[in-house]
Amino acid sequence: GEAGAPRPAPLPWGEILGDAERLKTIMAAAQAQDQGEIVLAQLIRQALAVGQWQGAIAWLERYPDLLKTPAGQATGIIPQVVQSLAHRSLEGEEWSRDLRRRYEQWLKEQVLFALDWHQPAPEHFPSLTMAEIGIALERLGAMTEALNFYDQFTQDAHLPRRDFARERWLVVKKKQERMFSNQGKIRPAVKARTELSKKAQQWQWDLGEVGDRIPQPPQLPPDPGPTSITGLPPEIDLTPLDGTEGYSFAVHSLQIRVLPPFAQVQIFDPLTQGALRIDGRLGQISSGALVVRGELPLAFEQPSGGYGGTLHRDHLELAIALLPTPILIHWPAAIPEGSGIISTVGNGVINYGTGN
């Protein structure tokens, strides 16, 4: 509903949480009055407060699109559900394999597949963190999803986040290897053990220090932002972009805007009015209506602007004329490195070459 719409009166949740038909009637009336998002959030919040996990997931599944609306997002209920999963033990008879699977599927659809979970939460609600998402997946027993999620951050430029992701990846992989062994799945167990040893050696991590306990999600130090860029000459200043975790800077005539959480970089040359957009999440480079997408690393050149570079899965290597070394712009990795295609962008024409 609209920001100025009156809030619905408090409902006697204790009386009605177990009355499915009454709840349906209440939701229908709320939607008719453009209050569906607020009432749905109240309903789920009350169910979580009394530990009715079955009821909460039933309503989350029943109205998946309602919470994606601006009014739904403003309730802060999606981060709150994830935080509830992350900060509770999720033990007891209620937590059947089916219930865990349903929450895992919901979390994948509403959070993992949504690239905007990094965004600040609505006012009065705590923002969702990487640690909370990862720990929620662990508590649900979603090992594969947890491994894939943590893997995005194991090369992160923010060292506390990187180290947390690495440790949790090793913990989950160790559990996965033991699970395969207990199930008599020899090949998967050997593969998991090999991957575990390889990563531990690569990260110089003592596996003897890797335990089984799932911790409360830690409060990691805030990402300083500018450390996501290296190789910038000291005389060049970074300017924060209002309302985002991004920043901008200028080199010669080039104006460069960076949004690390979304792996996006925009380069604008006012002399030629040429703009280039790099999207690390999609693994693509675009100029106007022309788009290049290929396996990574993906190289490009813009001769008229005097710059070029190479897009990798976790950073952009940007070479600018007269600068002695490339500028490296980092973000959480999300796409696999491939064999490589070189594209040349110049004068509005994109030509394909051969990668190495």
Rounded to whole angstroms, the Cα distance separating 39 from 198 reads 50
Q: End-to-end distance of the chain based on CA atoms, in angstroms? A: 53
Structure tokens at 140: 């649900």
The pLDDT value given to residue 209: 86
Average pLDDT of every residue of the chain: 81
Count of positions (residues) in the chain: 356
Distance CA 84, CA 193 (A): 32
- Alpha-carbon distance 327 to 316, whole Å? 8
Residue 308 has pLDDT above 50, yes or no: yes
Whether pLDDT at 347 is above 50: no
Beta strand 327-330 with 315-320 is antiparallel
Contact (Cβ atoms closer than 8 angstroms) between residue 346 and residue 303: yes
Tokens of 299: 């190289």
pLDDT for residue 349 is more than 50:
no
101-105, 136-140, 220-224: segment of lowest average pLDDT: 220-224
What pLDDT, in 10s, does the model give residues 212-254? 899 899 887 665 444 477 777 877 877 877 766 788 899 988 9
Q: Is 97 exposed, middle or buried (0-12, 13-18, 19+ CB in 10 A)?
A: exposed
Q: List alpha helices for 17-108, DSSP H.
A: 20-32, 36-49, 53-62, 70-74, 77-87, 97-107
In the chain, the largest separation of any two C-alpha atoms, in whole Å, equals 72
pLDDT at 345: 35
pLDDT of 120 reads: 59
Which is higher by pLDDT, 252 or 30?
A: 252
Mean pLDDT of the region 180-195: 95
| Whole-number pLDDT of residue 124 | 55
Nearest residue to 217 (alpha-carbon basis) of 47, 75, 79, 88: 88
Closest residue by Cα to residue 17 from 63, 60, 48:
48
The tokens describing 226, both together, are 């500018």
